[in-house]
Structure formats: structure tokens, C-alpha cells
Amino acid sequence: MNKVILLLMVFSAITIDATFAQNANERKKEFNIDKSTLAIDGYDPVAYFTTGTAVEGKKEMTVLNSGITYRFSTNQNKELFKANPAKYEPQYGGWCAYAMGETGEKVEIDPETFKILDGKLYLFYNKFFNNTKKSWNKDEKSLKAKADASWAKFLNK
């Protein structure tokens, strides 16, 4: 009986590890990250909520969450993230919210152009005189619904 329980425990652990690795690999394919898996160009995802500003994280203060690396500016922010990563991760894998809603495409962002909406972080492209946050704000409800649907397609491949 003990051998059966032990075998079931080992099998469960292997299955959980394999599922985690698969989820991490899938997330890495869809998220806006660099080659080292760093998200938000190294900006602290919690600082957007706690300070209302974009703050660069420190290289020595990181958390790996399901294959995605985040940097933090303070230990407190790091601990807040670890307690509830889903609360702080950017929507649409960190891609431009406006582009996800307008065309369903993954477009780079400017980590300093963001919005907190209903307790969620949205990031936007803002280069070459094109601040997509302004366009998002003009038709937010419709664009958000379209962006949600577009992002779901990426996740359900």
C-alpha cells in the first residue's frame, strides 16, 4: 500500500512539473519579453499600482513567474507580487492594449505609458508622435472588449 501511495505522489509531482514547464513555455511564446524572459523592459509591475508611476526595477530584485521574469524597485513590491502575481501582471501579456483592441496584433510598448483600469495594468505604444493611450481613451469600452477577445485567441492556440 505504501509503495502505491509513493508512486502516486511521484507521478503527481512529475505531472505538476511537466504542466508548469508547458505553461511557462506557452507564456514565453505569447508574452512581450526579451531574450532573457524579462517583462516590461525591467519596470516594476507593482509600482504602477503603489506609486502611480513607472519605476524601473533593480537587476538584483527579480521574481520568475511561470517563465516570465519581473524586476522590482523594493522588497515590499516584490513580496506583494509574489503573494498575487495575477493582480500585477500587465494585461495582454504586456503588449500594447490599443493595438490588441484595434488590430489584434502584438505591438511593443513604452513602459512609461500605462493605465490602471478596474485594478488591472494596461500598457501602450508611445513613439514617433503616436501615443496610443490617447486613442484608447477615446473608445476604451469597445477597444477593451476587442482586445480581450484578441488576447483570448493567442492563449487558446
pLDDT (tens place) for every residue of the chain, 157 residues total? 455 444 334 333 333 333 334 466 777 789 999 999 999 999 999 999 999 999 999 999 999 999 999 999 999 999 999 999 999 999 999 999 999 999 999 999 999 999 999 999 999 999 988 999 999 999 999 999 999 999 999 887 6
Provide the 3-class DSSP secondary structure of residue 128.
coil
pTM listed for this prediction: 0.84
Residue 81 lies in a domain: no
Cβ-contact 147, 92 below 8 angstroms: yes
Q: What are the two backbone dihedrals, phi and then psi, of residue 105, each rounded to the nearest 5 degrees?
A: -110, 155
> Does 99 map to a domain?
yes
Q: Could you tell me if residue 100 is inside a domain?
A: yes
Which positions ≥6 away from 41 have C-beta within 8 Å? 34, 111
Residue 105, domain extent: 90-157
Distance CA 111, CA 29 (A): 20
83 falls within a domain: no
Q: Do the domain assignments include residue 156?
A: yes
Per-residue pLDDT, 157: 64
Question: Could you tell me if residue 148 is inside a domain?
Answer: yes
User: Which of left, alpha, beta for 60 (phi over 0: left; psi -120 to 50: alpha)?
Assistant: alpha
How many domains are contained in the chain?
Answer: 1
